[in-house]
């Protein structure tokens, strides 16, 4: 007979939800766990390899990260790396692609030199690569470049840098179910309503069924805040979905992940070039960043859901107004809007690509149709600011909601462990600390 009661129910089968299923099954004595996913497969949205940049973010090449954030992200990246190695997924789902942050022109070159000095103690494997070294590692960066142009990169060939988060999410499910036969996965079941009834939660599914749990974690991407708002939680937050698209290079030019330097005023990471690990010999450039009135990138829009999740207010308008008052941000928003418009987008985006590979022209790139995803960026209404990382609403009542824009896929096990500890404390369950330390930390 099908079970309808669980100790823990997870809503959402992307990398966040599946990582939690894995940590609960593997490192706790909690018996009955279930995951509900509205589509018929795991990781079809943002965690899918087609939707994101496939980068295991360690903070060493992401120049929008402070040293503090880089150290924190590196820790969670290392957990994922350890997980993948434990199951021999290296060179299957996780690859050692060379990676670098590239500075072009005197100002950026000086920035790289300083960053290298600031980071070398915590990231000792990073190297400074001058023109001569770059000609060896990544000659495409020099093709067509003015001989007098200053360039310098900080990079490494030593670390795992590219990962198929979708394949890893599926592996979390397989390995969770091997560890605990009572870890159930319900596909094609959308959780429509969550209600608290005494010390239990009742979940109503689109099929009309009801399920009950002692604890619920909502890892539903852009839908997490919507489900929180429906329960009257998280009213201090608003969600603005930011779509990200990519362009393919028609010629296979890059062997490395090449990140460009971030303008610190801009809210999202600068354009980068990445060899695609699921499409042989193709290189992707992107992502772009455009606000979209929908909660899923390539499914039909639920405009009402978008509005409920945005919950427009004077504070939200003030955040938009403050952002758009800055000329650099205005220009960035406008440019990214144009990068989506057929007819002109290729020519305009080629200029971004040429910073990385000067010899590529607009005829060498093509808009990657159906590729890309959506980052649910959270606005903190109380402090009137856009939050750039992940956000969690821990109600303390046995239900948690996670909003996971980048680097949410990299930090899936770090976030899962945080929730696992909350759940164990709430339910009085045991965490297998020694096993956890040995295998993941
Ligand atoms: C363009 C782009 C590039 C990125 N690049 C990187 C990168 O290189 N590295 C990195 O670490 N991160 C990157 N990210 C971020 C990363 O993709 C996300 O942080 C991560 O995929 C979030 O995983 P998730 O499981 O929380 O959400 P999702 O993958 O969105 O999964 C949520 C799941 O919940 C399901 N769901 C929603 N509502 C319900 C419901 N009511 N009932 C049941 N199921 C429901 C959905 O169907 C979905 O499967 C990028 C994101 C984008 C958009």
Below-50 pLDDT ranges, the chain = none
From 370, 107, 365, select the one nearest 254 (Cα to Cα): 365
Same domain, 280 and 372: yes
- Domain boundary (387, 404, 431) is at 387
Q: Is residue 152 part of a domain?
A: no
Residues 411 and 327 in one domain: no
DSSP 3-state assignment of 311? coil
**To which H or E segment does residue 282 belong?**
none
Question: Does any domain span residue 355?
Answer: yes
Residue 39 has what pLDDT? Answer: 97
Backbone angles phi, psi at 225, to 5 degrees: -70, -35
Confidence at residue 268, expressed as pLDDT on a 0 to 100 scale: 81
* Tens digit of each residue's pLDDT (9 = 90 or more) over 10-62: 999 999 999 999 999 999 999 999 999 999 999 999 999 999 999 999 999 99
| Structure confidence by residue, pLDDT tens digits, 55-111 | 999 999 999 899 999 999 999 999 999 999 999 999 999 999 999 999 999 999 999
Is 201 a member of any domain?
Answer: yes
* Residue 344 Rama label (left phi>0; alpha psi -120 to 50; beta): alpha
Q: Give me the pLDDT at residue 2, please.
A: 72
- Asked whether residue 363 falls in the same domain as residue 403, the answer is no
Do the domain assignments include residue 228? yes
User: What pLDDT score does 52 carry?
Assistant: 96
CA distance linking residue 396 with residue 350, whole number of Å: 49
- Using the CB atoms, write b or e for 341-375: b if 16+ within 10 Å: eeeebbeebbebbbbbbbebebebbebbeebbbbb
Atom of ligand 1 nearest to the CA of 402: 26
Same domain for 311 and 246, yes or no, is yes
pLDDT given for residue 301 in this prediction:
67
SS3 assignment, position 48: coil
pLDDT given for residue 1 in this prediction: 58
Q: Are residues 416 and 327 in the same domain?
A: no
User: Using CA positions, which residue lies closest to atom 14 of ligand 1?
Assistant: 406
Q: Is 234 in the pocket of ligand 1 (CB under 6 A)?
A: no
Bridging pattern class, strands 272-275 and 385-387: unpaired
Are residues 187 and 169 part of one domain?
Answer: yes
Closest-lying ligand 1 atom to the alpha carbon of residue 220:
34
Residue 257 CB less than 6 A away from ligand 1: no
Task: Identify whether 221 is part of a domain.
Answer: yes
CB 188 within 8 A of CB 92: no
Other C-beta atoms lying within 10 Å of the C-beta of residue 428: 6
What is the domain-level CATH number for residue 400?
3.50.50.60
- Structural domain total, the chain: 2
Q: What confidence score (pLDDT) does residue 253 get?
A: 82
Same domain membership, residue 355 and residue 320: yes
Is there a single domain that holds both residue 412 and residue 426? Answer: yes
| One domain for residues 225 and 182 | yes
Domain boundary among 360, 387, 414: 387
The answer to whether position 323 is within a domain reads yes
**Domain's final residue, options 352, 369, 387:** 387
Same domain for 410 and 314: no
Separation between Cα atoms, residue 352 and residue 142, nearest integer Å: 15
419 lines ligand 1 (CB under 6 A): no
Same domain, yes or no: 203 and 245: no
Q: What is the pLDDT of residue 264?
A: 80
What is the pLDDT, as a whole number, of residue 161? 97
Q: Which residue has the tokens 């009309």?
A: 208
**CA dist., res. 430 & res. 439, Å (int):** 17
Count CB atoms within 10 A of the CB of residue 426: 17
What local confidence, expressed as pLDDT, does residue 277 receive?
94
Claim to verify: residue 247 and residue 372 sit in the same structural domain: yes
Domain with 190 in it? 1-54+164-233+395-441
Q: Given the structure tokens 């394949």, which residue do they identify?
A: 167
Evaluate: CB of 372 within 6 angstroms of ligand 1: yes
Residue 66 lies in a domain: no
Question: 121 C-alpha to center of ligand 1: Å?
Answer: 33
Output the pTM of the full model: 0.96
CB atoms closer than 10 angstroms to residue 230: 14
């Amino acid at each position: 007979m099908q079970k309808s009661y669980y100790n823990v129910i997870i809503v959402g089968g992307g990398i966040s939800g599946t990582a939690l299923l894995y940590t609960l099954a593997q490192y706790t004595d909690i018996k009955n766990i279930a995951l509900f996913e509205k589509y018929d497969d795991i990781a079809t949205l943002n965690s899918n390899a087609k939707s994101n940049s496939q980068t295991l973010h360690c903070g060493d090449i992401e120049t929008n990260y402070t040293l503090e954030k880089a150290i924190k992200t590196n820790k969670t990246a290392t957990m994922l790396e350890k997980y993948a190695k434990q199951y021999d997924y290296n060179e299957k789902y996780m690859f050692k692609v060379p990676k670098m942050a590239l500075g072009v022109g005197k100002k950026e070159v000086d920035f790289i030199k300083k960053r290298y000095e600031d980071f070398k103690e915590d990231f000792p494997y990073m190297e400074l690569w001058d023109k001569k070294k770059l000609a060896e590692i990544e000659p495409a960066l020099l093709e067509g470049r003015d001989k007098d142009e200053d360039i310098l990169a900080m990079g490494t060939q030593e670390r795992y840098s590219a990962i198929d988060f979708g394949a890893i999410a599926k592996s979390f499910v397989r390995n969770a179910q091997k560890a605990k036969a009572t870890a159930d996965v319900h596909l094609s079941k959308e959780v429509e309503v969550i209600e608290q009834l005494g010390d239990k939660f009742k979940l109503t599914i689109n099929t009309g069924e009801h399920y009950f749990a002692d604890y619920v974690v909502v890892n539903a991407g852009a839908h997490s805040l919507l489900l929180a708002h429906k329960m009257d939680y998280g009213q201090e937050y608003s969600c603005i979905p930011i779509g990200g698209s990519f362009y393919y290079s028609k010629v296979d030019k890059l062997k490395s992940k090449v990140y460009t330097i971030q303008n610190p005023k801009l809210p999202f990471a600068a354009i980068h070039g990445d060899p695609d690990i699921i499409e042989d010999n193709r290189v992707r450039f992107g992502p772009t960043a455009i606000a979209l009135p929908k909660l899923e990138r390539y499914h039909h829009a639920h405009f009402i859901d978008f509005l409920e999740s945005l919950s427009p207010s004077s504070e939200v308008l003030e955040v938009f107004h403050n952002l758009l008052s800055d000329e650099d941000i205005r220009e960035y928003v406008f440019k990214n809007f144009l990068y989506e418009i057929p007819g002109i987008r290729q020519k305009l985006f080629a200029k971004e690509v040429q910073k990385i590979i000067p010899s590529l022209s607009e005829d060498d790139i093509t808009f990657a149709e159906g590729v890309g995803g959506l980052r649910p960026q959270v606005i903190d209404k109380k402090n009137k600011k856009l939050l750039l990382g992940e956000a969690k609403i821990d109600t303390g009542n046995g239900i948690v909601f996670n909003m996971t824009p980048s680097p949410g896929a990299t930090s899936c096990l770090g976030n899962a462990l945080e929730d696992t500890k909350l759940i164990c404390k709430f339910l009085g369950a045991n965490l297998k600390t020694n096993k956890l330390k040995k295998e993941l930390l």
